[in-house]
Structure 1
Amino acid sequence: MKCELCDSSRQDEIQFGSFLIRYDKAAHLNCLILSYGLKQRGSDNVDFNGYLFSDVSSRRRYFYKQSCCYCNERYANLKCANKHCQRLFHFICGIENRARNQYVKPYFSYCNQHVTKPKYRPKSTEFCCICYDNLFDESKRFCPVTMLRSPCCRDNWFHKLCIQRYALEGGRSFRCPICNNTEKFRKSMLLWGVFTHDNPTEEEIFQEHMDHLIVMRRELFEPQDEDEPLVAPLQIDPPLEINFNHDYHDDYDSDDYDYDYYDYYHHNRFNNYHYFQTPDEKSKGFCIGLKRFCCVINNVLCHPFVVLQQQSQINVVSKSYHILPFSLVPIITKLYRQQGWLVFWKGFFESLCLKGVSLLFRNLHFFDEMPFIYVGFKGVIAVIMFVLKVNGLKMTVGTLMLPNDNIIGCGSKFWPLFFIYLSLEFAKWTFSALAKKITRALFRNKSTERRIIAEDQECTMQTDLITRIITETVFYPCETVLHRMLLQNTNTIIDNLDTGTTVMPIFTYFKGTKDCFKTTVGMEGYKGFYKGFGGLILQFAVHAAIVKIAKWLS
């Protein structure tokens, strides 16, 4: 069955609330609470917990005309409360795209662009005080929706899913797991998107049940009137003597009381919720080590193939295109015999610096609250990236057989290509993010244990590798044009990859990128844009092989 409001059949009691089914209708509890224009006009035992069927049907007809800003599907039942936004989205799409919902009247919702930024941010080494796992995921980016700070004992942080599970288990006893504060903690969590309920806990239900049994026993075995003769009771076993004042924590020290008390409330229905099934220390350490090993491969071990790829890429007059890696094998042997192993590590330092600065450019968030300083700092880093790109390219493709007289720096002739370089990097980053999202979705659809695979480190590394292969393949022609434009009219001398034993100068002059494109098509055909692609194939093949061997040996 599908929810009457958001038209989704997905069920997750922790994130979406209870899935209420009444006759032939169903709805998420949180959709009922948060859907704009829908009010509770009945008592709790009427229709959907007081939300009348007629009201729900009326809003469903209205939501049918509303499209979600995230998935472009109908039945968008939530609206951003920012008066300048008014974006519409599904309740589930909002959760997946880090929107925030407030579970206090008037039940506002905010899209991911208008979530209030907190004043405080956690350290990079901060951990969740409930699951004791690292607060940050692999992206190392702070998200105010999924990372919540305790309002009462300040320097403690939680994953939102951890505190949400804890809230559902605690019920009306929901309080801060660190300092036991109730009022301030509960109010803040409701404002920050953690919903709770007033249902009694298992211990309270058990206590009420036993109290009811005591009352029944007294009514059965104790006479109402002292003058009324007693009827001989049946011969039954004496009732069990239960000590209701038993302290469940007699065997524990006072320091362990809070932890054990909150660990006591545990619902069996949450046992299979995969998000909280953390791996053991051995598997976790293996995943972290494998991830770092992949980083070393990308930045160090694959550089020789980058040298071969770029040297073949910029050579306009070469006869061998080296689109497949087989033609590069004899060339590699000849280069090693004539120039030694250093021929494959040209420009390594510049390449490493460029990757480090690029990483800083993508993950810079120190000045988010000061836009002018933020944009200025980003601009400075972009200029540094371009300078490193130009000099790294000249150092990588230049031959070792002749002295290199290239001056480190960028002349005025390079700066018209600055914005082309930035546009290409931005396009690659955007395409990579989209391809990564699609690839992860395909991986999840192939598995029944969706959450385990989505969060697994090994699966993430496979997704990153596939995304990188797709992105590099799609943008390879654009990089060919850019590299040829950067090296035109520089008199750079490179190794001749047709023979592997001689050198040749690069004498090219293009009037612009359009002229470079036409010249390449006219002289080399469309295959000319993929010159040296065999080096890229070798790079990814070696990467995948080394990772497989490392996993097999471990």
Structure 2
Amino acid sequence: MKADLFLGCDVKKYIGVGVGIASLITENLLSHPFVVLRRQCQIQNNSTRYHLFPVTLLPVIVQLHRRQGVTTLWKGLGSVLMVRGMTLAVEDLITKFTPWPNTTLAIITPFYSASLVETVQSDIASEKPGIFDVFKDGVCRLVNWGSSQKGRMLPVWALVVPTVFHGLFKYLFSLVVRGVTSRILHLNQRHKQERQGALPRDLRDQVSSQEIELTATLVGLFSADVAFYPLETILHRLHLQGTRTITDNLDSGYEVTPILTSYEGVWECYYTTLTQEGAAGLYKGFGALVLQFAAHVAVIKFTRLVLTEVSALVQSKPSLSSPPIVTPTTSAPPPHLSQKTYLPY
């Protein structure tokens, strides 16, 4: 009985590892189409449909796929992954040789701007970017640190401070929410264990901790995205200003529209958005964020269901060896035991 319990906990442990890998892949790869939708909505200051709810995005997605193909929502994926890899590499390098690990976001800012352009520009009105265009454009903006290359484009130094502020405080906020959520879930789990009686603390607690940490991570990510969504909208508009980007018009999904803005900085962008679009203008494309996390949760639940069913099939597979046959002996059984109840072991 105890062996079966530990075997079940061991299987659940590997199921938790598989679900964690699926969550990581979803976060960095499968969620990209929703990121593209969200960014395209955020930068369109003249749009009349704000797409605050997922249901309004569905007909637009259908039209985009019908006119531009399935790959339209996967544009810029390569540059996004390159920037993430560059972020990890630069952070590791800076941490080893300097005491300023927080300068990573400042160095990556121009490359993030170049990657943002590739994720929002329309496929039917723009040239396909090359593999290393994100590095070329990022280096050009990095070299011109104190001045802009084009008329309305903001210099990199004007984007570094809000970008670092957004990235740093969003990360800290996510950590705090994750820690609080994890603590609450662990306390709830402990109360359940106390009501049910003593349980093995090594394997079973490890399995429960995997599930709790995964849930806490999702809650932390979603809470941080919601809390810093208005600032993200402002940053994306500032990063894109002066790049002559033409994006898909998400009011209908049929047309394209140029991005023409002339903000002087964060505060002017904030007040202009409030004046012209209202407070809801800071949350344009929020429905895409809801879709992203709904899809994330669905992938996790589906992966857990599949792995659980597969493990159940493997565990319930009948043994090929038949049980040993006990042959009756010539000597009579002891008088206090009958022939029916006597066992050779």
Change (3 A) 1:416 1:467: same
CA contact (8 A) 2:174 2:220 kept: yes
Q: Which has the larger radius of gyration?
A: 1
Paired residues, number: 273
Q: Does 1:290 pair with 2:16? A: no
The SS at the match of 1:490 is coil
- Trace 1:407-446 onto structure 2 (pairs within 5 A): 408-409=137-138, 410=141, 411=144, 412=147, 413-446=155-188
Report the equivalent of 2:79.
Answer: 350
Q: Does 1:476 pair with 2:229? A: yes
Gaps of 5+ in 2: 1-5, 148-154, 195-200, 308-345
The SS at the match of 1:456 is helix
The SS at the match of 2:50 is coil
CA contact (8 A) 1:318 1:498 kept: yes
Report the equivalent of 1:340.
Answer: 69
Q: Does 1:461 pair with 2:214? A: yes
Report the equivalent of 2:118.
Answer: 395
Q: Does 1:509 pair with 2:233? A: no
Shift of 1:362: 6.4
Report the equivalent of 1:302.
Answer: 31
Gaps of 5+ in 1: 1-276, 368-372
Alignment partners' CA distance in 2, 1:457 and 1:362: 27
Name the amino acid aligned to 2:265. Answer: G
Change (3 A) 1:366 1:424: closer
Name the amino acid aligned to 2:217. Answer: D
Alignment partners' CA distance in 2, 1:303 and 1:331: 17
The SS at the match of 2:228 is helix
Shift of 1:374: 2.1
CA contact (8 A) 2:246 2:259 kept: yes
* Aligned pair partner of 1:374 in 77, 82, 98: 98
Alignment partners' CA distance in 2, 1:337 and 1:291: 34
CA contact (8 A) 1:361 1:382 kept: no
CA contact (8 A) 2:186 2:212 kept: no
Shift of 1:404: 3.2
Q: Does 1:542 pair with 2:295? A: yes
CA contact (8 A) 1:287 1:458 kept: yes
> Which gives a bigger RCO, structure 1 or 2 (Cα 8 Å, sep 6+)?
2
The SS at the match of 2:27 is helix
Shift of 1:385: 2.2
The SS at the match of 1:504 is strand
* TM-score w.r.t. length of structure 2: 0.73
- Trace 1:57-456 onto structure 2 (pairs within 5 A): 280-359=9-88, 367=96, 373-375=97-99, 379=103, 381-404=104-127, 408-409=137-138, 410=141, 411=144, 412=147, 413-447=155-189, 448=191, 449=193, 452=205, 456=209
CA contact (8 A) 2:94 2:101 kept: no
Identity %: 33
Shift of 1:405: 8.5
The SS at the match of 2:257 is strand
Shift of 1:364: 7.0
Shift of 1:547: 0.9
Instruction: Give CA-to-partner distance per residue, 1:390-419, whole Å, 9 cap, x none.
Output: 111100000000233987222542332112
Report the equivalent of 2:305.
Answer: 552
Report the equivalent of 1:500.
Answer: 253
Alignment partners' CA distance in 1, 2:277 and 2:29: 32
Change (3 A) 1:530 1:345: same
Change (3 A) 1:278 1:377: farther
Change (3 A) 1:417 1:392: same
Name the amino acid aligned to 2:173. Answer: F
Alignment partners' CA distance in 2, 1:365 and 1:491: 33
Shift of 1:282: 2.6
Instruction: Give CA-to-partner distance per residue, 1:514-547, whole Å, 9 cap, x none.
Output: 1101100001100000000011000000110111
Change (3 A) 1:429 1:364: farther
Shift of 1:433: 1.1
Instruction: Give CA-to-partner distance per residue, 1:77-133, whole Å, 9 cap, x none.
Output: xxxxxxxxxxxxxxxxxxxxxxxxxxxxxxxxxxxxxxxxxxxxxxxxxxxxxxxxx
* TM-score w.r.t. length of structure 1: 0.46
Instruction: Give CA-to-partner distance per residue, 1:142-181, whole Å, 9 cap, x none.
Output: xxxxxxxxxxxxxxxxxxxxxxxxxxxxxxxxxxxxxxxx
Change (3 A) 1:454 1:387: farther
Shift of 1:464: 0.5
CA contact (8 A) 1:351 1:392 kept: yes
Alignment partners' CA distance in 1, 2:214 and 2:105: 27
Alignment partners' CA distance in 2, 1:308 and 1:472: 15
Alignment partners' CA distance in 2, 1:278 and 1:391: 50
Question: Normalized per residue, which structure has more helix?
Answer: 2
